[in-house]
Amino acid sequence: MECKFILGNHTKKDGSKLVELYYYNEGQKVRLSTKVHVIPKFFDETAVLKVSSKVSTSVADNRKLKEMETRMNNIISDWQQKIIAEYGQDYSDIYPPASYIKGAWKKPAIQIKKESEEDVRQIFHTWIEGDPKRGIIGKKDKVNEVKIYRTVLADIKKLTKKQPLTFRDIDQDFFERLLGYWTSKKPKIQNSTVNKRLTCLKIFLRQEKQNKYTFFESFSTGLSGIAESPIIIPTPEEFLKLINAEKELNVYGLPEELDRARDYFVIGCSTSLRYSDIARLQPENIRVVNNFDCIVSFIKKTQTPKHLIPLNDVSKFFIEKQFKANSNKGIKYMSNWKLNVTLHKLFKMLNFNSMETVVYKYGAKPTTVLTPKWEAMSMHASRAFFISTCVNSNQVSLGSTMSWSNHRNIKVVQRYIHQGFNQVQQMQDLFSGVNLPNTTSLLQAMRKAKLEEIDKKNPPEEEQK
């Protein structure tokens, strides 16, 4: 039995030929019209997607061919089931004759539900949000940042609108249209954000059991991120303002969201913990090791078990403060997106108004933009602040800095160091112990040396004779 797509013999004026579904069995053959026409060089009967993406109608054409292939397989399957039921397992390899295929094909097609083809957009929504009626928990409590998954789903909905979307439709053609949509949006989306959105789409397609296709594994944006971006962190004075925000703003207490965002940031500044690890801190993570209170936790990003960071007075105060505010159930969750929005609000209230150079990259060229510091800093700046403080303290070894920040590569640590950290004061202190000469005495000595030089060039008349 042979079943495949081939091109018909007749060539139209535009050079295209009809794609036919060819069925051959036991010396009998039948060729069924697909109503898809394509120029031969854009057709590959051995490929998963028969019609090349260079053809504008390729998405619709490949969908039609796939539907015909599915229908053919169902006809064959139905025939086999009849044979099995009638004759037993010994005849399960019998395939229907061409005449049977031709007759079955002429009958009205039964609408087949495509590979549990509930629309992919609905499946994606359920994957994120869950469905209690169907016992589906969803991922909204398991992925680090649900908002970006919801954004990707919204982008797909805008791109596809009301047309059906199945898993087999998420092919290279679909991705190229989606990438074009992302890179042409206004306001522009940075390369790093486009790459993150693609990663989220791949995670969904990889984890969703209803998806049987792997086209997505080859998707690549080809967009590179920023090679080196300026490190923007609070000054020591601004850090103190954050710690004492109530006093700076002349309030008895901060609103709950502002207070929690401040505490997250200060904990990051005083421990080097990433956002995801701070959000998972529990009282059991605080342990006494060698007579000192330490954080002992699992580092999610690097999959490091029992990572140890000694507590200092600052980190201990704000961690315990957050535990107490949450009835000792750990640090209350705050999404990364919400945290950064709230931090920007707090930084602005505390007048972090210096202008900083921020580098963005859209497409091939990076762009620099002067941005107020309150807008330029995010939660990630807290980790850079910790590493910069350690390196510039002249008190902490590089080994301890790398250990606490969970880094094994010194080049990675260098990327986190703010190179302008206290540089003015450091330069002033560098030669502060040197005793400089009296300015008046120095000028007098210079004048005397100059006169002696002139006398040597112009000796008295007697010496000349």
- Under DSSP, the state recorded for 108 is P
Q: In CATH, which of 3.20.20.70, 3.40.50.300, 1.10.443.10, 3.40.50.10420 is domain 236-425?
A: 1.10.443.10
Q: Report pLDDT digits (tens) over 390-407.
A: 888 778 888 888 888 887
Q: Determine the longest span between alpha carbons in the chain, in angstroms.
A: 142
pLDDT at 58: 85
Centroid of chain to Cα 44: 35
Cβ pair 277, 297 in contact under 8 A: yes
pLDDT at 188: 84
CA–CA separation, 161 and 146 (whole Å) = 22
Q: Report pLDDT digits (tens) over 261-277.
A: 999 999 999 999 999 89
Minimal CA–CA distance to 34: which of 23, 47, 48, 46? 23
Centroid of chain to Cα 147: 12
CA–CA separation, 110 and 157 (whole Å) = 28
Residue 299: Cβ within 10 Å count = 17
pLDDT at 414: 67
My answer on whether omega of the bond before 310 falls inside 30° of 0, hence cis, is no
Cβ pair 192, 226 in contact under 8 A: yes
What does residue 70 show for φ and ψ, rounded to 5 degrees? Answer: -60, -45
pLDDT at 256: 94
The two tokens of residue 273 are: 């913990």
What are the residue boundaries of the structural domains of the chain, listed by start? 2-112, 117-218, 236-425
pLDDT at 282: 92
Percentage above 90 pLDDT, the chain: 31
Reduced 3-state DSSP string for 356-388: EEEEEEECCEEEEEEEEHHHHCCCHHHHHHHHH
What is the torsional sign of CA 144, 347, 262, 254?
negative
pLDDT at 263: 95
CA–CA separation, 341 and 377 (whole Å) = 10
Query: For the stretch 418-434, what's the b/e string if a residue is b when 16 or more beta carbons lie within 10 angstroms of its beta carbon?
Result: beebbeeeeeeeeeeee
Q: What is the pTM for the complete model shown?
A: 0.57
* Amino acid letter for position 408: R
DSSP string, 228-259: --------HHHHHHHHTHHHHHT-SS--HHHH
Element (H, E) at 263: helix 256-271
pLDDT at 116: 44
**Averaged pLDDT, groups of 10, the chain, 465 residues long:** 87 90 84 90 87 84 84 78 57 71 74 57 90 78 76 92 83 89 86 91 91 87 75 90 93 93 95 91 91 88 84 93 92 90 96 86 76 91 89 82 80 62 63 66 74 72 56
CA–CA separation, 125 and 144 (whole Å) = 17
